[in-house]
A and B are shown apart, each in its own frame.
Chain A
Amino acid sequence: GAVVSQHPSWVICKSGTSVKIECRSLDFQATTMFWYRQFPKQSLMLMATSNEGSKATYEQGVEKDKFLINHASLTLSTLTVTSAHPEDSSFYICSAPTGLHNEQFFGPGTRLTVL
């Protein structure tokens, strides 16, 4: 199957700092990527749809000024958590569709811990 990578795999930061997470499609191009957040013992929650060359589309309740998304190329989307706080600590996962029926392939996730 197609491969999606994320970097970093984990990050610990101080409250008030910003953290950037990268999502790359390694062997295919993706005009659309998705960002999810997962809290412990919960399912994945879609945060936003990242669109190459245009603005991201955010789900209801997700602050676009706090979670900045940039999709500058067909293989890279970045999520920046600005002014992170402990409640932003979570598992962040990206995905990208490819294949005949747009099967989605997921990155390995990034564990963010805000102290």
Chain B
Amino acid sequence: DAKTTQPPSMDCAEGRAANLPCNHSTISGNEYVYWYRQIHSQGPQYIIHGLKNNETNEMASLIITEDRKSSTLILPHATLRDTAVYYCIVRVATNDYKLSFGAGTTVTVRA
């Protein structure tokens, strides 16, 4: 797996956009970028993933740089319920490919 680097924590204001960076400078051509989050005492939740194009769904947007060495997860209007640990993971998209979780970014949304 390509290793990822994320800031350990960040705060954001409720209602504002939250931009979560992730560096993955050793990513391979066949590896996707996946984002998950874990709210306290719950199982992780899938958010979004992408290969090289920017992606958007009902939860978030994913911006991947042209060289694919970094990406940014954008929560457009953060709410208190978005407080969680966010994990950026790169992996090949096969069904038996394991996810390796790093420390992630602890995001605290403040009123």
Contacts and interface: CB of A to CB of B under 8 A. Distances in A.
Interface string A68-102: 00000000000000000000000101010110011
Interface residues of A, number: 28
A101 B44 contact: no
A91 B99 contact: no
A104 B32 CA distance: 13
A49 B95 CA distance: 11
Contacts of B96: 32, 49, 51, 97
A43 B37 CA distance: 11
Interface of A: 1, 4, 6, 31-32, 34, 36, 43-46, 49, 51, 91, 93, 95, 97-98, 101-109, 111
A88 B26 CA distance: 35
Contacts of A98: 95
A109 B93 CA distance: 24
Interface stretch (B61-69, B76-84, B100-108): B100-108
Contact of A102 (B38, B43, B94): B94
Given A49-B96, A51-B96, A103-B46, 7 more contacts: A43-B102, A93-B44, A95-B99, A98-B95, A102-B94, A107-B43, A109-B41
Interface of B: 32, 34, 36, 38, 41-46, 49, 87, 93-104
A109 B49 contact: no
A102 B98 contact: no
A111 B93 CA distance: 29
A32 B96 CA distance: 6
28 contacts: A4-B43, A31-B95, A34-B99, A43-B102, A44-B38, A45-B101, A46-B98, A49-B96, A49-B98, A51-B96, A91-B41, A93-B43, A95-B43, A97-B95, A97-B96, A98-B95, A101-B32, A101-B49, A102-B95, A102-B97, A103-B34, A104-B34, A104-B46, A106-B45, A108-B42, A109-B41, A109-B42, A109-B43
